[in-house]
Amino acid sequence: MEGKLPTSIYSEIGELEGVITHTPGPEVENMTPENAERALYSDILNLRVASKEYNQFKGILDYFTRTFEVKDLLKDILKNEKVKQGLVEKVCQNETADCISEFLLSNGEEELARSLIEGVPLQKNSLTNFLSKERFSLKPLHNFFFTRDAAISLYDNVYVGSMASPVRLRESLIMEAIFDFHPLFNTKTVNPNPGKSRDSRIAIEGGDVLIARDDLLICGIGSRTTSMGVDYILRNLKEKKEKQHILVQELPLTPESFIHLDMVFTLLDRDTCMIYDPVIMKMNKYQTVHIYAEEGKVKFIREVENLPEGLRKLGMDLKPVLCGGKDDQWIQEREQWHSGANFFAVGPGRIIGYGRNVHTLEALNQNGYEVLKASDILKQRVNPHDYHRFVISLDGSELPRGGGGARCMTMPVSRKPVDW
């Protein structure tokens, strides 16, 4: 098929060729202060403001690459009756919502896609439903605009996210169906929990998986990804690859801004990375572990000093840029809280992040990154291709309150190889 896109992610920084996004919709506003914590939020968002900011972010992605919307891809596959029935069955089974399966199947692909993402209101047609404090038979997917977590492009396959919270399981079911059945993609999905009985000990989310090189992964373990999740990835890779290194970073369980590795560490270019210094360099009680497998067997597992040192020993000598700058730990904490370490590369040394983190942007500028406003690029006042290295600053007052940044909001499908 013309335009078919194979999965090919062998780095975090290769020139981007395709990315999946989800523009936040009414599901984001179907939250109250009472249920925000259950929805994995610490605050509720204003959709009007968040949409304006997200449209700017999406405009920047469209400027550099092909973008694909989850809802459009979902509508496409729901035209197939067998796919539609299979997905609805899995969703209702996982969420004990068999009572609405007939209603869901009666909808066309547009309405069904909307219901699967935005939720289905609870009908007050029985005493039990009338007395229920719930508003939805099928809950909205409040977190789905963070497309990074539910599916992970890893080399030439897509690993289905094994989500730590049941609130997000439907996201991974939808993404698995898209990659299995949409004619646009040419890939194989790998599911850690394919059957009806889910092993909750195997948890893997995309924010904790960074692809450094074709032989080197960096994984975080903490509140969202477990050690058994990393073991699962290793078991699959060591059977396919002659040599595989994995650097594992243990993360604090609190505060919630540390939920994923990419909230404290991201790769920016061949020679630079962004770090949140207090966790990556100074918290010795959180281990950094190097695993090496060769020809299908684990050769060693040992502790290393920290991630930059572990990478240096593997031939990636990266200069750390400090989230929040180097002068004030309070500023570092404030900017990390609003995803100050969470950057997304559209190419080597060409990154996107929130403009509100001014001290982080200043630190990048001091390390050779030109700071460009997203609004100036979209209004054609600035041509980013005139610069060797740059950081595009996004407007962000509302989106950061959702608890994620540019990397969280992107699920890359293909990147060009990096000339190391």
pLDDT tens digit string along 244-282? 999 999 999 888 889 999 999 999 999 999 999 999 997
Q: In the sheet that 265-267 helps form, which strands lie side by side, from edge to edge?
A: 265-267, 272-275, 319-322
Q: Does residue 420 lie in a domain region?
A: no
349: left (phi over 0), alpha (psi -120 to 50) or beta: left
Q: Which residues pair with 267 in a beta bridge?
A: 273
Residues 6+ apart with CB under 8 A from 247: 212, 216, 217, 218, 219, 288, 289, 290, 291, 304, 307, 310, 311, 314
Query: What is the pTM assigned to this prediction?
Result: 0.94
CATH number of the domain encompassing residue 217: 3.75.10.10
Number of domains in the chain: 1
Report the alpha-carbon distance of residue 386 to residue 56 in Å, rounded: 21
Report the alpha-carbon distance of residue 37 to residue 140 in Å, rounded: 14
Residue 127's pLDDT is what? Answer: 83
Q: Does residue 270 lie in a domain region?
A: yes
Report the alpha-carbon distance of residue 18 to residue 320 in Å, rounded: 28
Structure tokens at 138: 């099928």
Q: Does residue 212 lie in a domain region?
A: yes
Residues 6+ apart with CB under 8 A from 83: 77, 177, 181
Domain that holds residue 155: 5-415
Residue 166's pLDDT is what? Answer: 87
Q: Which one, of 343, 350, 386, lies nearest residue 369 by Cα?
A: 350
DSSP class of residue 363?
A: H
Counting beta carbons within 10 angstroms of the beta carbon of residue 15, is it exposed (0 to 12), middle (13 to 18) or buried (19 or more)? Answer: middle
Report the alpha-carbon distance of residue 273 to residue 320 in Å, rounded: 5
Q: Does residue 38 lie in a domain region?
A: yes
Residue 39's pLDDT is what? Answer: 43
Report the alpha-carbon distance of residue 394 to residue 344 in Å, rounded: 12
Residue 276's pLDDT is what? Answer: 97
Beta strand 5-6 with 370-373 is unpaired
Q: Which one, of 250, 329, 319, lies nearest residue 283 by Cα?
A: 250
Structure tokens at 185: 């993609």
CB 204 within 8 A of CB 175: no
CA 189 to chain centre: 17
**What does the pLDDT profile of the chain (420 residues) look like in tens digits?**
456 899 999 999 999 999 999 999 999 887 665 654 544 455 678 899 999 999 999 999 999 999 999 999 999 999 999 999 999 999 999 998 888 999 999 999 999 999 999 999 998 888 888 888 888 999 999 999 999 999 999 999 999 999 988 889 999 999 999 999 999 999 999 999 886 667 778 999 999 999 999 999 999 999 999 999 999 999 999 777 789 999 999 999 888 889 999 999 999 999 999 999 999 997 777 899 999 999 889 999 999 999 999 999 999 999 999 999 998 999 999 999 999 999 999 999 999 999 999 999 999 999 999 999 999 999 999 999 999 999 999 998 899 888 899 999 999 999 999 998
Q: Does residue 189 lie in a domain region?
A: yes
Counting beta carbons within 10 angstroms of the beta carbon of residue 68, is it exposed (0 to 12), middle (13 to 18) or buried (19 or more)? Answer: buried
